[in-house]
Amino acid sequence: MTREKPEKQTPVKNPQPAPGAEPSGPKTLKVKHLTRVEGHGNIIVELDAENQVRDCKWHVVEAPRFFEAMVQGRPYEDIHHIVSRICGICSIGHQLCSIQATEDAFGLNVSEQTLDLRKLALHAENMQSHLLHIGYLVLPDLLGVDSVLPLAQTHKDELVNLISCRRVANEFSSLICGRTTHPQRLIPGGMELIPNQDELTGLQAKLYESLDRMDKIVDLFAALSDKWPDFNRPTEYVALVSPTEYALYSGEIGSSKDINRPAQLYQQITNEYCVPQSTAKWAKNTGDSYLVGALARFNLNHRLLSPGARKAADKLGLKAPAHNPFFNTVAQLVECVHSAEDSLEIISRLLSRGLKDEKPARIKVKAGKGVGAIEVPRGILIHSYEYNHEGRIVTADCVIPTNQNHANIQMDMNAMRPMLSGLEPEAIELRLSMLVRGYDPCISCSTHLIDVTGAPKDSLVKFVRV
Amino acid sequence: MPAKPKVAFFDFAGCEGDQLQVANLEERLLDLVSHIDIVRFREIKTEKRDNYDIAFVEGSITRPEDEPRIREIRENAKILVAIGACATIGGINCLKNFINESEYKATVYGDFSRWYSTYAARPVSAVVKVDMDIHGCPIDKNEFARAVKELLLGKIYSPPKYPVCVECKMAGNICRFEQGRLCLGIVTRAGCGACCVNEGSVCWGCRGIAPDANMDAAGQVMDEHGFTWLEAQDHLRLYFGCNINKL
């Protein structure tokens, strides 16, 4: 992010301009407050007289909210509740990651049933977030409209199908977590309340139905496959990996170019560095940047996808390793099918075992550190906490997926420059907006770690620092 | 108000979860847009116009530069509606108000803290007149739909003045204090149907202090059930930060 947050209609002043980076060329193209993304970001393009692109930059201008300071001294029961408010869209992911870190700090293991329910919660969030991105945020670009709303006239059936799918995903989250956004049931040690047998059976039927509907969305996107810009830039892909499943809730941190590491060693992968154009630290591991999110997960773990999801990938022409960042949206669609199928499997396991009315495990607080690592819709999320002997937070640190992608977005923009030169400004704007949108950036999240001091090298994102 | 009012959405410091609830209306969003004209909704729509009748504002005011922006929105809009706890009561953002400003700035920004403008988080109503509040963290999409319906009928929706306890009893929940848990349902404004308690949790207070709340009695209840001052403070600061001087 930048430290300056321009208001609408006020000129953008780059507070710390790189030499020659400010509008010195004949034309500067500004996409201020990029739309159809979560949070506030700007794209700044410099053109010369012949519409040759001299430079393009990705700025994040979200208002900082100081979550880092907010959780200090708070008791462990409240932490997941507070950090959930970092982001409305990935609130379930933030809660689960926070709970994992807290349980790790106190050395607590939860029951198998709780684990299954948490995996379901994550699948539900993946589906609701992905479908929002695929359908409401990206699809309008492919169909040449400004939002999903005009599709009610032009593509009624497709839109109704998409909305029904998303409604099921939302009902799925409410049923497991109690609510779709900032839910109440997920707590350290277990669940406040669990769904009953009938509710799960009802959910099964809905998920089967939604698999058929997703098939139609896959067909729609397969038909639109020529709309993606032809752009390839191999990079490093980082995601959780597990030998037994398509890793979402747990696993080691894997990379396409590096060894696997346990989550506790996350700082060895998310090496941070500073850039003059942004106060957000960027991340790199073996190369100049790396990518997290659905595309990284697909590239690393595609063999463990459910059969239906693999079929969907074939239909969509998605093959690992895929190096086109625009295909992140396609990989999300493949993951939606996987989440639905894997959820069906988990539900039938829960039902055949019989639901137990478990109370959350009793927590014995102790001083210590804990780390949680989870794949949320936009990539790998890490929370790391230190607790005192009263179970109150001493320090916390949070590595947000979108932050890990900022450098990769900028590198993609650099690589795209030759492709853009000579295009009309509107076309350049659309192409770059589509690129950023494709990453599904969650800027509200990513803004919580501004640190340009360059002094401590210990973490990428200072979410909480004491 | 024209028959089909123009509606715009804006966000300040917040998680955008409230606008997400509007998107989550799913099919009903399509019904809604047949009665209103959405001219600005950055989260889902690219085209934007500054000509609007109703402005929905999410998020808290946390920086000096937020003030001219919210004033301009106020000037443009015939009706300004605050949505979500951050906008209506300051919400979770107010947690930072209990930390010394130079301390939290230095904590986060180190030597560069002078670059960042920030001050105590406040609700929208602290800066401009707000015509209507839709409470909650996040807002309830059904309450949102109801409030919009009332606006279209020329009315201003007003949430209940009594505390969550009333609705919680109707929902048939066991009192959390009887279970040894601290719950703010005794003083929090109702309208949510005690949704968090229904899900096994406690009331966290996200809808703000009820106008009719008896804070002295609440203090007594907490005392009687053996909660310490620190435990009470932890809960009260979570959402009531901007009203804390009333406590």
The CA distance from A266 to A286, in Å, is 14
User: How does residue B247 score in pLDDT terms, banded at 50, 70 and 90?
Assistant: very low
Do the Cβ atoms of A3 and B44 come within 8 Å?
no
Around Cβ A443, how many Cβ atoms within 10 Å? 24
The CA distance from B162 to B182, in Å, is 19
pLDDT at B212: 82
The CA distance from A141 to B158, in Å, is 39
- pTM, rounded to two decimals: 0.90
The CA distance from A48 to A362, in Å, is 65
Q: Mutating which of B46, B61, B73, B111 best tests the A interface, going by the most A Cβ atoms within 10 A? A: B46
The CA distance from A240 to A218, in Å, is 25
The CA distance from A62 to A44, in Å, is 16
For chain A, the domain total comes to 1
- For chain B, residues classed under CATH 3.40.50.700 are 6-152
Render pLDDT for B140-187 as a digit per residue (tens, 0 to 9).
999 999 999 999 999 999 999 999 999 999 999 999 999 999 999 999
Around Cβ A39, how many Cβ atoms within 10 Å? 26
A87 located within any domain? yes
Percent of chain A at pLDDT above 70?
86
In B, minimum Cα distance to A187 occurs at B201
Cβ of residue B110 closer than 8 Å to a chain A Cβ: yes
- Range name among A350-359, A386-395, B102-111, B217-226 with the lowest pLDDT average: B102-111
| C-beta of residue A101 within 8 angstroms of C-beta of residue A370 | yes
The CA distance from A248 to A408, in Å, is 22
pLDDT at B107: 63
User: How does residue A439 score in pLDDT terms, banded at 50, 70 and 90?
Assistant: very high
Residues facing residue A379 across a β-bridge? A376
Q: Indicate the Cα dihedral angle B23, B26, B27, B31, nearest 10°.
A: -20
pLDDT at A276 over 60: no
pLDDT at A447 over 60: no
Residues ≥6 apart with Cβ < 8 Å to A275: A282, A407
Enter the CATH code of domain B6-152.
3.40.50.700
Between residues A171 and B44, which one has the greater pLDDT?
A: A171
A212 located within any domain? yes
The CA distance from B162 to B139, in Å, is 18
pLDDT at A456 over 50: no
The CA distance from B112 to A123, in Å, is 40
Give the gap in angstroms from C-alpha A276 to the nearest C-alpha of chain B.
Answer: 13
Render pLDDT for A361-415 as a digit per residue (tens, 0 to 9).
999 999 999 999 999 999 999 999 999 999 999 988 888 888 889 889 999 999 9
Instruction: Identify all chain B residues contacting A78, using CB atoms and an 8 Å cutoff.
Output: 234, 238
Instruction: Identify all chain B residues contacting A164, using CB atoms and an 8 Å cutoff.
Output: 26-27
The CA distance from B213 to B131, in Å, is 22
Residue A368 sits in a domain whose CATH number is 1.10.645.10
pLDDT at A10: 38
ipTM for the predicted complex: 0.92
Indicate the average pLDDT of chain A.
Answer: 86
Region A426-437: mean pLDDT is: 91
Render pLDDT for A202-248 as a digit per residue (tens, 0 to 9).
999 999 999 999 999 999 999 999 999 999 999 999 999 999 999 99
Do the Cβ atoms of A181 and B69 come within 8 Å?
no
Between residues A461 and A211, which one has the greater pLDDT?
A: A211
pLDDT at A7 over 70: no
A380 located within any domain? yes
Write the burial class of residue A292 (CB in 10 Å: 0-12 exposed, 13-18 middle, 19+ buried).
buried
* CA-only gyration radius of chain A, Å: 22
Q: What secondary structure letter does DSSP report for B205?
A: -
Which of A463, A446, A466 is closest to A67 using CA atoms? A463
Instruction: Identify all chain B residues contacting A43, using CB atoms and an 8 Å cutoff.
Output: none
Do the Cβ atoms of A5 and B63 come within 8 Å?
yes
A241 located within any domain? no
pLDDT at B21: 94
pLDDT at A450 over 70: no
C-alpha count within 13 angstroms, C-beta hemisphere, residue A110: 23
Q: Mutating which of A175, A182, A458 best tests the B interface, going by the most B Cβ atoms within 10 A? A: A182
Q: Give the three-state DSSP class for A314.
A: helix
Instruction: Identify all chain B residues contacting A191, using CB atoms and an 8 Å cutoff.
Output: 200
Range of the domain at A203: 67-233+280-402
A169 located within any domain? yes
User: How does residue A444 score in pLDDT terms, banded at 50, 70 and 90?
Assistant: low
Residues ≥6 apart with Cβ < 8 Å to B4: B35, B36, B37
Do the Cβ atoms of B14 and A35 come within 8 Å?
no
A327 located within any domain? yes
In B, minimum Cα distance to A74 occurs at B234
pLDDT at B26: 84
Percent of chain B at pLDDT above 70?
93
User: How does residue B43 score in pLDDT terms, banded at 50, 70 and 90?
Assistant: confident
Residue B138 preceded by cis peptide, ω within 30? yes
B 208-247 → A contacts, CB under 8 A = 234, 238
Render pLDDT for A295-328 as a digit per residue (tens, 0 to 9).
999 999 999 999 999 999 999 999 999 999 999 9
Which of A97, A103, A119 is closest to A350 using CA atoms? A119
Region A53-57: mean pLDDT is: 87
Give the gap in angstroms from C-alpha A251 to the nearest C-alpha of chain B.
Answer: 28
Region B25-49: mean pLDDT is: 87
pLDDT at A84 over 60: yes
Region A254-276: mean pLDDT is: 84
Dihedral sign (CA A202, A205, A208, A212): negative
pLDDT at B116: 63
